[in-house]
């Protein structure tokens, strides 16, 4: 399989040959920053159209068809509309925190995006404790949502923020336990090493029953973490208008909107890395010819394809199940999901200790 690291190393060596090291590092940081922001924007716009078209397909409609062929340019029209909207200043708000909140939310998702390895040799941030770092950064987004609801000085936004905080903090436990189950199996928290460990089989197949249970728990918890239906209580339109971002307009509202869709890709990407091998092709031990054919498919295609598939499942949830009540949502987490996740973690530890896995 082609290693994109050879390209990045060649570019770095070419820069070092014509300029000082600090200049080369500065240029590389600027280029990487621009690429991350560009990728962030393009992915978010794609996901908006992706969900609108899938929703239309589920409901036997066509979806947006007015702007561009098959409505492909509709999201760009919506983006330009948001950009030219006025930023309204409200009386009675904490202006500093009101303006800070959307930047916290979008910064959190941008940093998490930079931690994902898109292909063989295509990773910006690679720590020994990569998964732990991603979970820690994701908590900053919760802080931004709470600040948005509280600083708006509106009872509907405050209720939406409190719901979101309770929901995200609660389901983070099950999500973290599902990830910890795979970490126990793999023996590392380094994201790149987690992918390399799946060279001879994805963890969802090699990890036996506990890995499958962890995958199901992760998908459910990730759906709640991203405030998506049927767990979209923080933005319940029929009772809270738009939840914590009711009072936002223009680009500030756009930040919340983009971050919501980008978080959908991020949780899908993490699921593909932890359970489906990330950028690693499907390899079956002993099938050398089949494995060689799979290696011809670029690693970045594997990662994006798996992430889009899991996103499809999460979107499918939203447009299939009705919205649950807040008490049902929290009871499901604390009474059922978390105890199952804890028991599954112990079960995986037993399987690893006794070698009962593939």
Cis upstream peptide for 230 (omega within 30°): yes
- pLDDT one-digit tens code per residue, 281-319: 888 877 888 888 888 888 899 999 999 999 999 999 888
Distance, in Å, from the CA atom of 210 to the CA atom of 185, rounded to the nearest integer, reads 10
Structure pTM? 0.89
Rounded to whole angstroms, the Cα distance separating 10 from 41 reads 28
CA pair distance 300, 4, nearest whole angstrom = 10
Q: Which residues contact 212 (CB under 8 A, 6 or more apart)?
A: 204
Residue with tokens 């939310």: 105
- Closest CA relative to residue 106, chosen from 282, 248, 317: 248
Can you list the residues of the chain whose pLDDT is less than 50? none
pLDDT at residue 238 in the model? 62
Residue 342 is encoded by which pair of tokens? 């804890």
- The answer to whether the CB of 227 falls within 8 A of the CB of 167 is yes
Half-sphere exposure of 250 (CA within 13 A, CB side): 8
Q: Residue 92: helix, strand or coil by DSSP?
A: coil
Q: What is the pLDDT of residue 114?
A: 87
Q: How long, in residues, is the chain?
A: 358
Helix (H, G, I), strand (E, B) or coil at 321: coil
Q: Which two tokens stand for residue 121?
A: 């040799």
Q: What is the distance between the alpha carbons of residues 59 and 165, in angstroms, rounded to a whole number?
A: 31
List, in sequence order, the alpha helices (H) in the chain: 5-16, 21-58, 74-83, 95-115, 130-151, 155-186, 191-196, 203-206, 208-225, 237-240, 250-275, 288-296, 299-318, 326-331, 338-354
């Amino acid at each position: 399989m082609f290693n994109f690291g050879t390209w990045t190393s060649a570019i770095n060596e070419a820069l070092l040959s014509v300029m000082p090291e600090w200049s080369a590092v500065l240029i590389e940081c600027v280029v990487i920053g621009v690429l991350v922001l560009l990728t962030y924007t393009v992915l978010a716009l794609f996901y908006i159209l992706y969900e609108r078209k899938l929703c239309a397909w589920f409901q036997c409609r066509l979806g947006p068809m007015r702007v561009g062929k098959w409505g492909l340019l509709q999201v760009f029209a919506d983006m330009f509309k948001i950009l030219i909207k006025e930023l309204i200043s409200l009386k009675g708000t904490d202006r500093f925190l009101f303006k800070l909140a959307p930047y916290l939310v979008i910064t959190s998702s941008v940093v998490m995006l930079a931690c994902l390895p898109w292909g063989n040799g295509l990773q910006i941030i690679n720590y020994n404790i990569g998964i732990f770092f991603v979970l820690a950064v994701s908590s900053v987004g919760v802080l931004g949502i709470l600040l948005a609801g509280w600083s708006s000085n509106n009872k509907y936004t405050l209720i939406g923020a409190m719901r979101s905080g309770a929901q995200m903090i609660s389901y983070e436990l099950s999500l973290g336990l599902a990830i910890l189950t795979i970490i126990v199996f793999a023996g590392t928290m380094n994201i790149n090493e987690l992918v390399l460990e799946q060279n001879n089989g994805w963890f969802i197949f090699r990890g036996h029953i506990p890995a499958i249970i962890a995958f199901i728990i992760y998908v459910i918890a990730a759906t709640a973490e991203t405030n998506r239906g049927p767990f979209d209580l923080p933005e319940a339109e029929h009772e809270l208008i738009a939840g914590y971002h009711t009072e936002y307009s223009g680009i500030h509202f756009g930040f919340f909107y983009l971050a919501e869709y980008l978080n959908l890709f991020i949780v899908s990407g993490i699921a593909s890395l932890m359970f489906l091998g990330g950028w690693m092709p499907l390899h079956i031990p002993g099938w050398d010819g089949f494995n060689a054919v799979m290696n011809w498919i670029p690693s970045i295609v594997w990662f994006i394809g798996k992430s889009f598939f899991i996103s499809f499942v999460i979107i499918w949830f939203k447009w299939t199940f009705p919205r649950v009540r807040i008490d049902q949502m929290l009871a499901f987490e604390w009474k059922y999901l978390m105890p199952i996740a804890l028991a599954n973690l112990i079960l995986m530890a037993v399987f690893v200790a006794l070698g009962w896995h593939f």
